[in-house]
Chains A and B, each alone.
Chain A
Amino acid sequence: MNKIISALLMAIFFVVPAFAVKTDSQVEQYVDTLVEKVSTMLSDPAISEEQKVKKSRQLMAENLDLEWMAKYSLGRHRKELDMPQLKDFTKIYSSYVIKTYSDLVRNYKGQKAVIKKVSNLDDAEYIVKTEVIQNGQPSIKVDYLVRDVGAGKGKKVALKISDVITEGVSIINSQQAEFNSMISNGGIDALITELKKKI
């Protein structure tokens, strides 16, 4: 009898964390595959720089949760926009992000990313900590916010990257600060005009 009880207790205590680990490893695998894909593409000498920029644009469009990022970057001003405006903004925001960040590919010089840790923020939010090792320079800490876009809608697990945090500096939080000051001074139209200039 005692054996059964202890076995049950063991089962309860060990199985519960095991469930969490399952999704964690899924997230890790997702980031790992993506990092692998990007670094093979970038270090392939047969592909020209223009081609690399083009390919990374495609990868960003597929893997970034641009709709959510657009909403987040608006912060408290999001509620001031109606549906068509929000849609319009999301479209311009997406091309802005893809344009400005795909250009960074040109700085690539054989850096390698190593996954350090995956942790769970919320039911469907994970942080994947990586370290970018570069030749002869101190390594850079890059964390990814990975969200399960399918969660809550009864859909399958659909992981997307929703933020990239480099040495503590988050893309969407910086954008929120910038956009916030822009909207406070000139309204959403001023922001959209400004973003269009950068595309």
Chain B
Amino acid sequence: MKLLQSLYILVISLGLTANVLAEKIQSDTEYKNTYSIDQDVSEVYDPYEKLNRKIFAFNSTLDHFILRPVAVFYKNITNDYVKARVGSFTDNVNMPLTVVNYGLQLKFDNTMKSLWRFIINTTLGVGGLFDVASKFDLNPTRQTLGSTFARYGVGPGPYLVVPFFGSTHARDVTDNIYSNSALNPLKYHFHRDFKTGFTVTKLVHDRAIALPFTDHITRSSTDPYIAVRSAIHQNRESKIEYPEGYEPPDLSNP
């Protein structure tokens, strides 16, 4: 009897340690392979750098003379309260995109979470003006068609700078241009004028939010093209979930 008891304890404690270990290993995968001083982190695959740099210069000029001044103006005339309402509203309108993409990824839990977020914020949050759902911990990572591709094992591909639309990867290239609105069921019910107004508002608002970051790059970077490329790549990859066992292609020897 006592033997049985100690066996029981053994099994439980084994299970516990395994749990602890599993949790630890899981939490570390995000940063595995980074921070080895003798080895460069994998660089961004950028075979069209020459052309990209030209388009980057074009986009930067456009931004400098049109978008940035408008964003600065918007930032100055609005207070935190207004900015928070605009931010929540645009985010809520885009939430169905996340719902659809989690659905396409067959992730039931996250589909329901993002659907509930949309329902709660649309009703209790007065049409999405207030973010109530985050208080219930309903805050899933935003998904696009690019995220869905990644979920099925598609790597980022070459880095591309698209005129007017900005920097992205080949895998995500349709997101801003087409699929973000094509995969959002809500967008089919909007009047054309509302759609235009919404797009412009979101563009200006997002640009205003990014101001501290872009100003920091202009002030401190030795090469803004590389700084933006590196930041876009790292930020995007941190939000992407690859299937288990996915290995990024080796770029040192293409």
Q: Check B40–A76 contact: CB distance below 8 A.
A: yes
- Contact A6 B40, CB 8 Å, known A117-B27, A127-B31: no
Binary interface encoding of chain B residues 204-244 relative to chain A, with 1 for a CB under 8 A from any of its CBs, else 0: 00000100100010011111001101110011111100000
Q: Check A163–B35 contact: CB distance below 8 A.
A: yes
B10 within 8 A of partner (CB): yes
- Contact A182 B220, CB 8 Å, known A6-B10, A17-B17: no
A107 within 8 A of partner (CB): yes
Contact residues of B with A, CB < 8 Å?
2-3, 5-6, 9-10, 13-14, 16-17, 20, 24, 27-28, 31-32, 34-35, 37, 40-41, 43-44, 80-81, 83-84, 87, 91, 131, 134, 209, 212, 216, 219-223, 226-227, 229-231, 234-239
Task: A115 to B100: give the CA distance in the assembly, Å.
Answer: 32
Q: Check A13–B231 contact: CB distance below 8 A.
A: no
The 3 closest A-B pairs by CB, nearest first: A168-B238, A136-B84, A6-B6
Q: Check B41–A173 contact: CB distance below 8 A.
A: yes
A89 within 8 A of partner (CB): no
Q: Check A13–B14 contact: CB distance below 8 A.
A: yes
Shortest CB–CB separation between residue A41 and chain B, in angstroms? 20
List 6 contacting pairs A-B, 8 Å CB cutoff, sorted by A: A2-B3, A13-B16, A16-B17, A136-B80, A168-B235, A178-B222
Which residues of A have CB within 8 Å of B221? 178
Task: A140 to B194: give the CA distance in the assembly, Å.
Answer: 30
Most buried by B among A3, A13, A16: A13
Which stretch in A28-36, A43-51, A55-63, A67-75 binds the other chain? A67-75
From A14, A76, A121, A182, B35 is in contact (CB under 8 Å) with: A121
- Contact A170 B81, CB 8 Å, known A2-B6, A76-B40, A121-B28: no
Contact residues of A with B, CB < 8 Å?
2-3, 5-6, 9-10, 13-14, 16-17, 20, 68, 71-72, 75-76, 78, 96, 100, 103-104, 107, 117, 119-121, 125, 127, 135-138, 145, 162-163, 167-170, 173-174, 176-182, 191, 194-195, 198
The residue on A at minimum CB distance from B231 is A169
The residue on A at minimum CB distance from B229 is A177
Q: Check B234–A3 contact: CB distance below 8 A.
A: no
Q: Check A181–B27 contact: CB distance below 8 A.
A: no
From A103, A138, A174, B230 is in contact (CB under 8 Å) with: A174
From A6, A75, A125, A178, B5 is in contact (CB under 8 Å) with: A6
- Contact A119 B28, CB 8 Å, known A10-B9, A198-B220: yes
Task: A9 to B34: give the CA distance in the assembly, Å.
Answer: 36
Shortest CB–CB separation between residue A102 and chain B, in angstroms? 11
Please give 14 more A-B residue pairs, beta carbons under 8 A apart, in addition to A136-B83, A173-B41, A177-B229: A2-B5, A6-B9, A9-B13, A20-B24, A68-B37, A96-B220, A103-B216, A119-B27, A120-B28, A135-B84, A136-B84, A169-B231, A169-B238, A174-B230
Q: Check B229–A137 contact: CB distance below 8 A.
A: no
Q: Check A9–B87 contact: CB distance below 8 A.
A: no
Task: A103 to B131: give the CA distance in the assembly, Å.
Answer: 31
Which residues of B have CB within 8 Å of A125? 35
Q: Check B43–A179 contact: CB distance below 8 A.
A: no
Task: A125 to B239: give the CA distance in the assembly, Å.
Answer: 23
- Contact A173 B234, CB 8 Å, known A68-B37, A120-B24, A121-B35: yes
Task: A194 to B222: give the CA distance in the assembly, Å.
Answer: 6
From A100, A137, A191, B219 is in contact (CB under 8 Å) with: A100
From B10, B17, B131, B231, A174 is in contact (CB under 8 Å) with: B231
Task: A138 to B2: give the CA distance in the assembly, Å.
Answer: 56
From A10, A169, A176, B40 is in contact (CB under 8 Å) with: A176
Q: Check A167–B24 contact: CB distance below 8 A.
A: no
Q: Check A177–B209 contact: CB distance below 8 A.
A: no
Task: A103 to B216: give the CA distance in the assembly, Å.
Answer: 9
